[in-house]
Amino acid sequence: MIKASEVRELMNRYGSEKVPFLFAIDFELERGIFEMNPLESNNVFFRVGEVENYSNSKQGINNDQSDKSNNTNQELLKIITPPDKAEYKKSYDIVMAGLMRGDTYLINLTTLTEIKTPLSFEQIIARTNSPYALCIPDNFVCFSPERFVRIENGIITTCPMKGTIDATIPGAEDKIMTDYKEICEHNTITDLLRNDIGAVSKRVWVERFRYTDRILTDRGEIIQVSSDIRGEIKDEFKCESKERLGDIIFSLLPAGSVSGAPKPSTLRLISKAEGRARGFYTGIFGYFDGETLDSAVLIRFIEKSYDGKLYYRSGGGITVNSNWESEYDEVLKKVYIPAK
């Protein structure tokens, strides 16, 4: 791993030279990962859309005969220790006090759940169907449904995801699409991301507002709500007809959908309420193929701690209309492994 500032410089350099690379940046903008020619790498495994580098890996992670998940009677993921309710409520109260003071009007509060799984990180990335996935062996694995930004032909696109519901609930889609709290939260994050994209764009527009996707998990199907926001990149972010990719990406960080608005005061409140660094969780990663950059927010995230324990990181957006028990339930619902 290297400094995040070095990742920025390398992205600018190799982006202008049209050299393919993979990158990742942590939430605190302190550390990063940069891999040139990542399709040939055996140190980092990833998927971005249709592009991935593990099917033909020398480690053969798709053909691991020790994959215990072949036993259909064995759970793919088991919660060992859920977030402590009293501790979550304490963090929630700090956040709500900030909301009432006007320090923030949307904030993403996260926590961690101790889990066990019979799968290795390499096996998890090989069996999930998420459009974005990243595995750093013995460190973390992420299987994200949420795009951060895509940059192609001078257009930048972001797709913030806000709103999750169990698809088995009767009338689930109608319920989440008409829920007042969900509407307010999604409006807020859409405005925030429009402003973020506006910092690097000549003009900005919302291509699609509040559309739904269904995601199959090891515990059933869920519905998630997203929007599609686009902008035309400003000339000042271009160099010799090629975007300065590092400068563009770092101008947008941390990702608004996993921080909140307004960003500066919200980030201070997150630090106070959560009391721990997020690290690569809720950071971003992406792949540049020489022409197009596509990236994702590092959510749906399992990490290995120094003592070998596994923790699933999850969170949700909090507004003045939130209820702490409902928010606690939501972070637990997000503890899953996507089904293939």
pLDDT in tens, 12-35: 999 999 999 999 999 999 999 999
- Can you tell me the distance from the alpha carbon of 179 to that of 162, in angstroms, rounded to the nearest whole number? 12
pLDDT number for residue 163: 81
Strands (E), 6-68: 21-25, 31-36, 45-48, 51-52
Q: Does residue 162 form part of some domain?
A: yes
Contacts of 170 (CB under 8 A, 6+ apart): none
CATH of the domain at 183: 3.60.120.10
In a domain, 281, yes or no: yes
64 within some domain? no
Whether the predicted model's global pTM rises above the 0.75 cut: yes
* Higher per-residue pLDDT: 57 or 10: 10
- Quick check: is 67 in a domain? no
Total structural domains within the chain: 1
Is it the case that residue 66 has pLDDT exceeding 80?
no
The tokens describing 124, both together, are 């998890």
- Give the bridge partners for 158, in sequence order: 149, 229
**pLDDT value at residue 42:** 87
Of the pLDDT bands very low, low, confident and very high (cuts 50, 70, 90), residue 255 is very high
In the chain, what's the furthest Cα-to-Cα distance?
58
Residue 320: CB partners within 8 Å, gap ≥ 6? 96, 99, 100, 105
- Domain boundaries, position 110: 2-52+76-333
Which range, of 187-191, 212-216, 222-226, 309-313, averages the lowest pLDDT?
212-216
Is the residue at 63 inside a domain? no
The residue count for the chain: 340
**Structural domain contains residue 155:** yes
Q: Which two tokens stand for residue 92?
A: 């929630």
As a whole number, the mean pLDDT across the chain is 90
Query: pLDDT band at residue 237, thresholds of 50, 70 and 90?
Result: confident
